[in-house]
Amino acid sequence: MKNSPSHQNSSKETDAVTASTLPESTDLLAQGGEASQGLSADEQLSLTATQAVAALKSGRLSATTYVTTLIARAKAVSDLNAMIILDEAGALASAKQFDADRAAGKALGALAGLPVVVKDNINTKGMKTTGGTHSLRNFQPATNAPSLQRLIDAGAIVLGKSNLHEWAFGITSTNFTLGIDPVTAAATRPCKNPYDTSRIPGGSSGGTAVAVAARFAPAGLGTDTGGSTREPASFCGIAGFRPSVGDGAGKGRRYPDTVNDALPISPTRDTLGPMARTVADLALLDAVISGTKAPTAKALKGVKIGIPASFWAGLEDSVQTVAATAKQQLADAGVVFVDADLTGVMALNDSVSFPIALHEPIAAIPAYLSANSAPVSTVAQVMADLASPDVKGAFGAIAGDVFGGAYAAAMIPVTGGRAQLQKLYKDYFAAQGVEAVMFPTTILTAPKIDPVNGSSKLSYTAGGVVLTDMDTFGTCIRNTDPCTNAGIPSVSIPAGLSADGMPVGMQMDGPLGTDANLLSIGMGIEAVWGSIKPPTI
């Protein structure tokens, strides 16, 4: 499942069809909405979320036909281990209801029967929410997370729950948990990158990324604490969005979810986020979740984007090549780049990242378990049933409150590390007059799967020098993590393929609350870069 080498950035070479090339509407059965075979299975699989909604609304494609095609695809590529639960019966029932409603002339929601996958740490009514961990193997929340409910209210159909790094506490989606699902046992095996199954898809929202990249879901929901929607998006050649989270106390938060709506790590940093094949698709889902109007693509001529050197240093050679090409294409399209570093950003981020992420779970995890009447109630009970070695290590730090003192210092108003990091970003955007900053989402392409530790050490070549014994976790989140502690929005956009056929994503971060503008710029950018080749499966 590995592509031939390519730096392809042309939409002409993608498997996607445009809305204008979809076959014209043909006869629909009066009841149930079974569309004629106007779209082949391959054409259905290639639809972006935006294209699928257009086809479903117009009747050129029935939801029943589409869901059937997607489920068949999911089963055909089940060795990727992207799903923990595939809800075939439930998805087909929802699809048939949508088709009946459409045939009856009922009003259709903004998502009009769009099938989506949902990361299995997000509360989902009627389905288990296991978090990929043994202690929650039979846990079923009573309600949907608000963001998911808004998607469903707008017509989305849930295909199932996607695999993830255990408790979302990692960036590989190599999950060692046993016995999650007696039929598929999806979470007992590592989630695999569809571009090269010996490599990780990223995490912790790896299953959602794989489902979208492997073309059995046009879109899905993930969560993001330190990069978990954007790092797997980069590794799997799709787009991922992290909305504004704000000050951690609710002010500036774009999405309605609380600590009790998905398995928590850090209330200050956690958020749900959409993942899809295009930024236009992200904008569609974001508009539904946030209750705002979806933006249109922004003309790029004259748009000022900052290039902070701290995020461009030490790139793997293959990433550097793709990033340089992508940057030049945008310059040719009229983007004005401002070479100005966010001086001190990495040191400030390092001073607050672990203290926040490994102290806040002490209170957040029991609060979630209690609010949702889970079968366990304490951090100790969760920890006793963990299977993934790297996650056990993280929970050991939580249980021992290793970062308790550093957390208090990090969260001091005005002078604390987090406040200083937020100020650094705010002052940078104002002083440089830029609408966003841009850099590679990850400094390397997807590493190999580590079947023993889940995540330990890696090697790669940067500037012609082979770097060895590098920490996998820290290396993979270096560029995605700072914005999470600052609470600002961030999007990863597929920019091209490396010489050995692996996806490379470019990330843009914007000022707090400028989510729509960031997505608008991203839509303009993807029009320049085009689509990358899908994985060969």
Got the DSSP string for 211-271?
HHHTTS-SEEEEEESSSTTHHHHHHHT-EEEE---TTSSSTT--S---TTSB--S-TTT-E
Neighbour-count burial of 138, counting CB atoms closer than 10 A to its CB (0-12 exposed, 13-18 middle, 19+ buried): exposed
Give the start-end residues of each E strand in 25-154: 83-86, 115-119
The answer to whether 169 and 399 are in contact (CB under 8 A) is no
**Which one of 94, 173, 205, 228 is the catalytic residue?**
228
Count of helix runs (H) and strand runs (E) in the chain: 18, 13
Residues facing 458 on adjacent strands? 470
Count, residues in the chain: 537
CA distances in angstroms from 59 to 44, 70, 99, 104, listed in the order given: 13, 18, 9, 12
Could you give the residue ranges of the DSSP H alpha helices within 400-493? 404-410, 417-432, 472-477, 481-486
The answer to whether 407 and 355 are in contact (CB under 8 A) is yes
163-186 per-residue burial string, b: 16 or more CB within 10 A, e: under 16: bbbbbbbbbbbbbbbeebbeebeb
Residues facing 471 on adjacent strands? 457
One-letter amino acid at 73 equals R
Sign of CA dihedral 302, 305, 309, 312: negative
Residue from 101, 102, 70 nearest 219 by CA: 70
What is the chain's alpha carbon radius of gyration, rounded to the nearest angstrom?
A: 22
* 117: three-class secondary structure by DSSP: strand
* 313: three-class secondary structure by DSSP: coil
| Phi, psi angles (nearest 5°) of residue 306 | -80, 145
Could you give the residue ranges of the DSSP H alpha helices within 142-205? 146-153
The answer to whether 196 and 449 are in contact (CB under 8 A) is no
**Which one of 96, 119, 327, 533 is the catalytic residue?**
119
Q: State the Cα–Cα distance between residues 465 and 454, nearest whole angstrom.
A: 26
Indicate if 228 belongs to the active site: yes
The answer to whether 376 and 448 are in contact (CB under 8 A) is no
Largest CA distance in the chain: 67
Indicate if 298 belongs to the active site: no
The answer to whether 481 and 310 are in contact (CB under 8 A) is no
**Which one of 62, 204, 266, 310 is the catalytic residue?**
204
N- to C-terminal Cα distance for the chain? 5
Q: Which residues are catalytic?
A: 119, 204, 228
